[in-house]
């Protein structure tokens, strides 16, 4: 299933009291669609500080983004959890709000086996009537959804895509072996071009908050056969891709947005804002 080539994992705007800044949600959505060219938005994902949002906040934010986007881009809700029952309940509520898909992160901390991972995702898929995107991020969740498990899950009817951060070897195996119509996205900005080269469809991105149009240009250059141009754009963007992770995300990208005049506020503890040195480094990227 095609949700676009460049999808932004959207930050959550916060006010000075670290509450969701509802007045900034609409302008942020407009900016990402109109100025950065986002074809889809992931709401309440890692970049959206999902671990520090309540379910009530998540559902209200998902609803606000769906309404404001108004069909201009795909809206994907992060509803994953390491508690299968909780993920089912949150996914059901998100589905009622009109999202185009839900994103389910691999269960973290409790370290399930590959069969446990399969049964977890299958249980959520059977409980909801909405397309599901798997999210494999072993650097955060500790467990890897192995390529064979992802391929097996690709045959579950409403599991339609994966966002995978496990590297090009795994992306290659999944892209080659998954069910027909199953879409593979890289979840690592720095891997955008290599991922396309091994058969991925696109990127679910952090950097597209600030270099989205350039990323669209990179993808379009590659898919149109202008590999040299894609390589040149990739080389230019690599410092931004890596630099936006100079500190725990999303603090760097929130500061980058501030430099562009887009106010999304601070981050909630246990994350902290950038130091002056880190701010200077991020500013040097643009």
Measured at the CA of 96, the angle between CA 101 and CA 77, to 5 degrees, comes to 35
Q: For all residues of the chain together, what is the average pLDDT?
A: 98
Closest CA to 33 of 255, 186, 259, 212: 212
pLDDT beyond 90 at 1: no
Rounded CA-CA distance 141/117 in Å is 12
Active-site hit among 135, 185, 222, 255: 135
| 162 located within any domain | yes
| 227 located within any domain | no
- Over the stretch 195-209, which tens digit does the pLDDT of each residue have? 999 999 999 999 999
| 255 located within any domain | no
pLDDT beyond 90 at 239: yes
Rounded CA-CA distance 175/151 in Å is 9
For residue 24 the two structure tokens come to 């900034």
Active-site hit among 31, 58, 74, 163: 163
Rounded CA-CA distance 286/284 in Å is 6
Mean pLDDT of 222-236: 98
Rounded CA-CA distance 237/233 in Å is 6
Rounded CA-CA distance 196/13 in Å is 31
User: Which CATH number belongs to the domain containing residue 13 in this structure?
Assistant: 3.20.20.70
| 276 located within any domain | no
| 59 located within any domain | yes
Judge whether 135 counts as a catalytic residue: yes
What's the structural domain count of the chain? 1
How confident is residue 120, by pLDDT bands cut at 50, 70 and 90? very high
| 240 located within any domain | no
Whether the CB-CB separation of 42 and 4 falls below 8 Å is answered with no
| 274 located within any domain | no
43 beta partners: 77
Mean pLDDT of 23-47: 98
200 three-state secondary structure: coil
Mean pLDDT of 26-39: 98
| 11 located within any domain | yes
**Domain carrying residue 162:** 6-213
Whether the CB-CB separation of 206 and 253 falls below 8 Å is answered with yes
- Over the stretch 154-201, which tens digit does the pLDDT of each residue have? 999 999 999 999 999 999 999 999 999 999 999 999 999 999 999 999
Mean pLDDT of 128-146: 97
- Over the stretch 39-92, which tens digit does the pLDDT of each residue have? 999 999 999 999 999 999 999 999 999 999 999 999 999 999 999 999 999 999
Closest CA to 271 of 246, 251, 243: 251
């Amino acid at each position: 299933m095609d949700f676009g080539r460049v999808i932004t994992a959207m930050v959550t705007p916060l006010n000075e009291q670290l509450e969701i800044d509802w007045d900034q949600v609409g302008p942020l959505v407009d900016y990402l669609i109109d100025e950065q060219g986002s074809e889809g938005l992931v709401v309440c994902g890692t970049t959206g500080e999902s671990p520090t949002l309540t379910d009530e906040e998540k559902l209200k934010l998902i609803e606000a983004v769906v309404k404001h986007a108004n069909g201009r881009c795909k809206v994907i809700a992060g509803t994953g959890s390491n508690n299968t029952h909780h993920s089912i309940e949150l996914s059901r509520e998100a589905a009622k709000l009109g999202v185009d898909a839900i994103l389910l992160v691999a269960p973290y901390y409790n370290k399930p086996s590959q069969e446990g991972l399969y049964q977890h995702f299958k249980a959520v898929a059977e409980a909801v009537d909405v397309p599901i995107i798997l999210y494999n991020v072993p650097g955060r969740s500790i467990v890897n959804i192995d390529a064979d498990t992802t391929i097996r899950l690709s045959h579950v009817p409403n599991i339609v895509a994966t966002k995978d951060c496990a590297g090009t070897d795994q992306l290659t195996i999944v892209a080659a072996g998954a069910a027909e119509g199953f879409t593979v996205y890289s979840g690592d900005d720095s891997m955008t071009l290599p991922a396309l080269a091994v058969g991925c469809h696109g990127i679910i991105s952090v950097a597209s908050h600030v270099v989205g149009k350039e990323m669209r240009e990179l993808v379009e250059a590659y898919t149109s056969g202008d590999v040299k141009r894609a390589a040149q754009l990739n080389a230019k963007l690599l410092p931004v891709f890596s630099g936006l992770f100079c500190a725990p995300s999303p603090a760097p990208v929130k500061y980058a947005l501030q430099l562009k005049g887009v106010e999304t506020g601070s981050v909630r503890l246990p994350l902290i804002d950038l130091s002056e040195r880190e701010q200077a480094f991020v500013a040097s990227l643009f």
